Each structure stands twice: as C-alpha cells, then as structure tokens.
Structure 1
Amino acid sequence: MPSTLPAAAIAEPLWDAVIPAGTHWSGVLRRGLALRIVDLEGGANLSAVFHRQEDPLERYNMADTLKAQHTAHLTRGHALFTDMGRVIASITADTLGWHDPLGGVGDAALFEHKYGAKSYQRYRNDMIRNGRDSLVLELAKYGLGARDLVANVNFFSKVAVAGDGALEFVSGHSPAGGSLDLRFEMNTLAAFSTAPHPLDPQRDYAPKPVRLIAYRAYPADGAAPADDPCRTACPENGRGFINTDRLFA
C-alpha cells in the first residue's frame, strides 16, 4: 500500500535528532512511540535491527515478516514481525513505497574493497564506517554482540531483481525529504546505521544523514486501534497484533 503523500503534521514532537552521515545510533523506543524518519539530502540508507527490550532473544524476523504479508519489500501498512509471531513495529506512513529487507549490511571487507581503508587513528571523523560493525557497536551498549545481529531492514533503499536473479540496487530512489513513520508496538531496542547500502554501485564513500522525530502515536498502556490499517492489512497482521496485545494485557 504505497503512499506518495506526506504524513500528517506532528502536533507534539517528543524529541528530534539527526544521525550524521556514516555514523550510528541506538535507543529504546517504548510501545506506542513512533519515529518519523527523514532522508535529509536524498540517497540515504538507514540499516536497522530491532530487538524486544525486555527479552532481546526476541527480535525482528525478516523471513516471517515477508512470508506473512506475501511481499518482498516494506511500505505503509506493513508490520515487522518477531520470531515469536508478534509485531515489533509497523509502518504507518511512507512517501517512497519501497524499503529493502533483503540486501543485508556491508562489512569491513566489503567496504575496504569498494572504498579503501580510512581508520579513525589517521582520519578521525572522516574514517570509513561499515554498517555491520556500526550495528554491532550499538548492540554492545546493551550487552549484545555479533551473534545477535540478524537480517536487517534498509530504509530508503530499493533493490530490483535482474534477469539472472541477482539483486540490483536502484539508484536515486529516495529524494531529499523522503520519509516514513515507524510505530513501535513493543518496547524495542533499535539500532541504526547510516552507512551506504552494500549493493550501492557508487564507488565513492558518500553516506547521507537521517533525521529522527519522535512522537506519541498512542498511549503506552494502550494499543493500535481495531481499525488500524497495519492491523487490518491482512489476517496474519491481525493475529500478530493480537499476540502482541496479549503480551501487554
């Protein structure tokens, strides 16, 4: 259910932050909180992983998310499922119509091959940070490690399938000001990296910044309403929301 219209204005933002180009961020987003995520300059990639805050063994599951909703991309109306059949987050607004759940995240070897090596010791803030290490660094702040890094979502990025079955990066997909609203249905540990998408063919290391605007979508002791478009998008989503609501009942 793609949307090419901007989401409604946020009446009362709770906080506002920018993740600089090529850096990383993490935080706990409580149930009922939402983030408006904005591509400030165009061409951003935001790699993201999600864990349940109270029990990080429960986390976003790419395979269950896609097969439950019969999709190979994410957009407005889609829910992000955990490996326990619950909904950890949902996309309530989207100006792009496509976000990539398949392309994965680049590691140090890939980035050095593509962009060369620039260490912090020599280049300081102009160092090259890869997405995998960035996400692992953020997870480490909460006692997690590399083994907790599961398949991620790449917001603002799109991939297409070539004739030989290979995934191809679609350049120019996200313009400046492109955005989505991500609502959290569980207390969620989110880790983000603004490193480039691993399939981006651009040979220069040119990550982009992303803005986060937090607001309250519904009370923390409440739930998404019964007629919510993400809840009613398909029967599987309805069951996932019920499972989630029972956890907080």
Structure 2
Amino acid sequence: MTFVATLSEKLSENCDYKKEILAGDGFMQEIKKGDTIRIVDQAGNQAADTLFFLTDDPADHYSASMTIQQQANLYLTTDSILMSESGREMLKITADTCGQHDTIGGACSCQSNTVRYQREKVYMHACRDTFMLEMSRFVSSYPFSKHDLAPNINFFMNVPVAPDGDLDFKDGVSGPGFYVELEALEDVIVLISNCPQLNNPCNDYNPTPIEVLIWEGNK
C-alpha cells in the first residue's frame, strides 16, 4: 500500500489541476473530452459518491442501469465504460488500483440514515446534502435540481450482493493511495460527494479526505 501511495504522489506532480476534498465536502467541475480525472483514496476505505452529466445536455446523466447492462457486470473497474441515460459513452476507466467500485449502493441521505441505522441519526450530514449544495453553487445555464440526482457510483465502496439479492455494506477493499482514473469520452460535468457517514463500515467508521487530479488531454 505504501508503494501505491508513493507512485500516486509521483505521478501527480505534472497534473494540470489538483484538489483535496475533505470528508463531507463536495466537488463539481466540467472536464473536456480527452481529459483524464483521477480520484485518490488518500487514507483508504473512503467512499467517493460520484455522478456525471453530459455538458451539452446535463439532463442526460450517468445511468447505472445502462452501464451495468453494457458491461454485464455490477461493479466497475479498468476498461468499464460509463454510459448515459440515452446510451452515449461518457467516460472510460483507464486505470484502477482498487479493482472494484459499487454501482447500486446509492448515496446516503438523512432519510436513509434512519432506515439503515436508527431514527436518531436523521440529523447527520449525508451525501445527498452535499450533492444539492454543489449543484446550487455550480454556474450553469442548466437549472440543476434534486431531480438530477440519479443512482450514483460509489468509488472505493464495497457493497456485495448476496445470492438472494440482498445488499450488504462491508468494510472497504481500498487502501491508502489507491485510485481510479477515467478518460472523458465527451465533455462532462463531474459531481462528487466525499462521504461523511460515520456509521458506514465502508469507510472504516472514519471519513477521510480524497484527492482529485485532472490532466488536460488537448494541449
């Protein structure tokens, strides 16, 4: 794991953009076709809830069902193509040191916290809150709203599916410095919530920062 962290740090030296996102914080930014974005799990066992929107038609967002159908796999890893609702190819995972990313666990909300854990957890900050805050801040002619929050990707999150179809939220399979790297196949808008959930074993009950790095493809 130390080797992975060191390698990630070395490769990040020549990136065009770098930002640390603390647990509970969000990120929303456009990246161009040909750009590469890397999401780094700095301390390990963190969950980075992520959505993508096509810049030329933000209503056409990432589709979990289309992506799962296209690749015939519930989990994402190297060579997975992320599809939009209309069937357009949005991004391709070009590198992945974690090996498995969740597509069906969804984003935590105040309401789901009460269902998964207990009624008294309703006050706790959740990824849905972060998504809404980032969309309200994003400067765009498109009126982003809660209706744009589709089922998201949970990078680094471990949600195995039992033979009977039940989901379980398990300890994460990521480690310090593990990362996933994606190439934009279209101009896309990236929306990330770095999960603040203290009740989730996927982040070892200890939410930690992630890092976003971007390399511009057309120079």
TM-score band by shorter chain is: 0.7 to 0.9
Count of aligned residue pairs for this structure pair:
208
Separation of aligned partners in 2, 1:41 and 1:68: 32
Separation of aligned partners in 2, 1:56 and 1:182: 19
Corresponding position of 1:230: none
Corresponding position of 2:154: 154
The one of 135, 141, 159 aligned to 2:131: 135
TM-score in terms of structure 1 length: 0.74
- Is the CA contact (8 Å cut-off) linking 1:79 and 1:87 kept in structure 2? yes
Deviations 1:65-87 (A, max 9, x none): 11111111000000101122211
Report the CA distance between 1:47 and its aligned residue. 0.4
Larger radius of gyration: 1
Corresponding position of 1:28: 30
Check 1:59–1:151 CA distance in 2 against 1; reply closer, same or farther (3 A cut): same
Separation of aligned partners in 2, 1:85 and 1:202: 30
The one of 40, 43, 46 aligned to 1:44: 46
TM-score in terms of structure 2 length: 0.84
Corresponding position of 1:99: 101
SS at match of 1:172: coil
The one of 68, 71, 91 aligned to 1:69: 71
SS at match of 1:170: coil
Separation of aligned partners in 1, 2:23 and 2:111: 20
Deviations 1:160-195 (A, max 9, x none): 123542111230311111111111111111110011
- Is the CA contact (8 Å cut-off) linking 2:111 and 2:122 kept in structure 1? no
1:189 aligns with 2:189: yes
Check 1:59–1:205 CA distance in 2 against 1; reply closer, same or farther (3 A cut): same
Check 1:201–1:211 CA distance in 2 against 1; reply closer, same or farther (3 A cut): closer
Separation of aligned partners in 1, 2:30 and 2:166: 36
1:176 aligns with 2:207: no
Structure 1: gaps spanning 5 or more residues: 120-127, 221-249
Report the CA distance between 1:31 and its aligned residue. 1.1
- Is the CA contact (8 Å cut-off) linking 2:199 and 2:205 kept in structure 1? no
Q: Which amino acid counterpart does residue 73 of structure 2 have in structure 1?
A: T
Separation of aligned partners in 1, 2:22 and 2:203: 20
Structure 2: gaps spanning 5 or more residues: none
Q: Which amino acid counterpart does residue 189 of structure 1 have in structure 2?
A: I
Q: Which amino acid counterpart does residue 62 of structure 2 have in structure 1?
A: Y
- Percent identity between matched residues is 28
Separation of aligned partners in 1, 2:163 and 2:113: 26
Q: Which amino acid counterpart does residue 25 of structure 1 have in structure 2?
A: F
1:54 aligns with 2:53: no
Check 1:204–1:71 CA distance in 2 against 1; reply closer, same or farther (3 A cut): closer
SS at match of 2:168: strand
- Is the CA contact (8 Å cut-off) linking 2:105 and 2:154 kept in structure 1? yes
Check 1:169–1:197 CA distance in 2 against 1; reply closer, same or farther (3 A cut): farther
Question: How do 1:80-99 residues align onto structure 2 when only pairs under 5 Å count?
Answer: 80-99=82-101
Separation of aligned partners in 2, 1:118 and 1:163: 31
Q: Which amino acid counterpart does residue 78 of structure 2 have in structure 1?
A: R
What is the Cα-based RMSD across aligned positions, in Å?
Answer: 2.8
Check 1:210–1:41 CA distance in 2 against 1; reply closer, same or farther (3 A cut): same
- Is the CA contact (8 Å cut-off) linking 2:46 and 2:172 kept in structure 1? no
